[in-house]
Amino acid sequence: AQKITQTQPGMFVQEKEAVTLDCTYDTSDQSYGLFWYKQPSSGEMIFLIYQGSYDEQNATEGRYSLNFQKARKSANLVISASQLGDSAMYFCAMREGPNGGFKTIFGAGTRLFVKA
């Protein structure tokens, strides 16, 4: 069965430093997509970045990058130059292809605290 694991319940980072949020996944499908979402205290989920299973390059979106290691089934999110506004919950998610019904499952999340 597909599964997403985020082992860090909480993380602290100093403002302007980089931080890595861990995510491992388990799937038997060859075609899948990996996503990261941010959930501020307001509750609304915000899509940050996507990595396809066949992508050869690691995804980047502004200060967000994804360290994708397919053989290890890991998709860690790297946030560079942390800002106070980055304090939020971060969720890793996976969408499988046709065999998984195109459903998306989410990890339990990591709460990030950015210190001034």
What sign does the CA torsion over 57, 26, 37, 82 have?
negative
What sign does the CA torsion over 83, 111, 109, 70 have?
positive
Query: By CB under 8 A, is residue 103 in contact with another protein?
Result: yes
**Residue in 33, 79, 82, 100 binding another protein, rule: CB under 8 A:** 33
Please report the DSSP string for 48-70 in residue order. Answer: EEEEETT-SSPPEETTEEEEEET
For another protein, the closer of residues 11 and 105 by Cβ is 105
Query: By CB under 8 A, is residue 100 in contact with another protein?
Result: no
Question: Which parts of 48-77 interact with another protein (CB under 8 A)?
Answer: 48, 50, 52
Torsions phi, psi of 73, nearest 5?
Answer: 55, 50
For another protein, the closer of residues 67 and 104 by Cβ is 104
Enumerate binding residues for another protein (CB under 8 A).
Answer: 4, 9, 33, 35, 37, 42-48, 50, 52, 91, 93, 101-109
